[in-house]
Amino acid sequence: MDNYVLLIVIALIYILMVGYVGYIAWKRTKSADDYMVAGRETHPFIMALSYGATFISTAAIVGFGGTAGVYGMGLLWLTVLNILVGIFIAFVLFGKRTRKMGHNLNALTFPEFLSRRFDSKFIQYFSGAVIFLGMPLYASVVLIGMARFVETTIGLNYSIALIAMAIIVAIYVVFGGIRGVMYTDALQGTIMFIGMVILLGAIYWLTGGITAGNQALTNLIHQIPANATATAAATGFTGWTSMPSLGSPFWWTLISTLILGVGIGVLSQPQLVVRFMTVKSNKELNRAVLIGGIFIFIMTGTAFVVGALSNVYFFDTVGQLAMQVAGGNADKIIPVFISSAMPVWFAYLFMITLLSAAMSTLSAQFHVQGTALGRDIYETVTGTKGKSSVLVARAGITIAVIIAVILGFILPDNIIAVGTAMWFSITAAAFLSMYVFALFWKRSTKAGVISGLVIGTLLSIFWMVFEYKKSAAALGICQALTGSPVLIAANPWPTVDSIVIALPVAFVITVIVSLLTKPQPKEQLDKIFKGV
């Protein structure tokens, strides 16, 4: 009973804090600029934590942390890529140009930024449609991660946890706009950081220290039954502290889907790009780099280390590997570890950490989906602006929440990390070539980037439906049409992520078509690139 009283007290304090911050944001939201880009006056600390908290969700902590229990420490290369690409390159190279050009173009959303850069309404509503229709997959896996943890930790019904979580987030996003999102993100990011630092210390304390814990994880490969080791070796698995065999199915999944898919795809995330347009100068972005880098290092590094080392803990205590204890569902490894290895009070505090991670990401996702419908689709198609577009955006948020909840009930096990990577791959194929050329290549043309946008999007979706086995088998469309789960069964193609295929094609198509078509007028480009 005392534990439940503690849980109620912690939850109430947290809800009151989020509610207060959301209320402050609502009071300061008075215009479309406030609702979409926070009046372009965000403090660098808030911007960095909002960016990091939006990037790192329960998908990263629960989904990728659990996946590290399967793939091991090799997943730490994603942490390296997240910091190098997702923070340094994103802030220093992309962020500064995006901020300045966003001001020059008076753009309030990512699709609107791309649309005005190339003077194309098609880009805006097509990109808005990709976001509104595709992002529910990402939102749903974030919801699943939180609901699974609540289900495991306090025994609350999964369905109730899923729905309650979605409703709480929807309320403060609908009314607070991007201010509500970013203010609560900063609060939630701080909580997340503290919780993960404690967890990192705990895992090494439980496994005997950094050296002993990592060595025990290395030695674990020798204690697995010979038949299981042989089966794992056939897929390319070599242990939890070494990379899989080069070119093996295990290697392709780890590298192309989990590391490249998310590590590169982060540059094209609309909910992250828009944050560059919320600060008033490059100085704020420079100050945000260090904060964001440290935050990402602790959040992802801790999740991956804990997921991998949970194998040592479970083997020492119950004689089983993490996947066995989790019943074959990697999405449950982190929740089961927390509930088994940690004191009840920490499990409750960590639940608030995960709640913060989920809410910060979901709020950004729902906000971007709402603005995609209200600003990028509704305004562009109808030509209607003002309060009506904000109302449509709020309706879009509600619709996005409902879709995410529905998907949360029907998606299969082991979906969190894969679902996240799929969304990142889709956005990379659709937006990244267009975004890069918008910022750095004046010779790129409307026809060129539209070709890359459409072909990249369609090729990415085609690959996921007909060739990438994890998604193709789950959807069943290829099986129904051809009698085979994938079109090409020979290795490595069923384990090659769509980003490896669609992104290079989108880049090449964009360059070729741009060189064959008329460039934008110099006067127009001078205005766009003024001060960049």
Domain spans in the chain, listed from the N-terminal domain onward: 2-528
Reading the block at residue 172, the tokens are: 């403060």
The answer to whether 311 and 73 are in contact (CB under 8 A) is: no
pLDDT of residue 494: 94
pLDDT recorded at residue 39: 44
pLDDT computed for residue 54 by the predictor: 67
Helix H, strand E, coil C: the string for 241-288 is: CCCCCCCCHHHHHHHHHHHHHHHHHHHHCHHHHHHHCCCCCHHHHHHH
The pLDDT, as a whole number, for residue 24 is: 67
Whole-angstrom Cα distance, residue 477 to residue 209? Answer: 48
Residue whose C-alpha is closest to residue 59's, from 397, 351, 352, 300: 300
pTM: 0.86
- Which residues fall within 8 angstroms of residue 6, CB to CB, at 6 or more apart? 344, 345, 348
- Write b or e for each residue in 256-276: b if 16 or more Cβ atoms lie within 10 A of its Cβ, otherwise e: bbbbbbbbbbbbbbbbbbbbb
Which pair of tokens denotes residue 440? 């750095």
What is the pLDDT, as a whole number, of residue 10? 74
Q: Which of 402, 414, 253, 204 is nearest to 328 (CA)?
A: 414
Q: Could you give the residue ranges of the DSSP H alpha helices within 28-109?
A: 32-37, 44-55, 58, 65-71, 76-81, 96-105
Report the pLDDT value the prediction gives residue 1, as an integer from 0 to 100. Answer: 45
Tens of pLDDT, residue by residue, the chain (532 residues): 466 677 677 777 777 776 777 666 666 555 555 444 444 455 566 666 667 766 777 778 888 999 999 999 999 999 999 999 988 898 888 988 998 898 899 887 889 999 999 999 999 999 999 998 988 888 898 888 888 888 877 778 888 888 888 887 777 566 655 555 666 667 777 888 888 999 999 999 999 999 999 999 999 988 776 656 656 667 889 999 999 999 999 999 999 999 998 899 999 988 778 777 776 777 777 777 888 889 899 999 999 999 999 999 999 999 999 999 999 889 899 999 998 998 888 888 788 777 777 776 777 788 788 888 887 888 888 777 666 777 888 788 888 888 988 998 988 887 888 888 889 999 999 999 999 999 999 999 999 999 999 999 999 999 999 999 988 887 889 999 999 999 999 989 999 999 999 999 999 999 999 999 999 999 999 999 988 7
Token readout for 103 is 């001001």
pLDDT of residue 50: 67
Domain 2-528 coded CATH 1.20.1730.10: yes
The angle subtended at Cα 413 by Cα 482 and Cα 72, nearest 5°, is 105
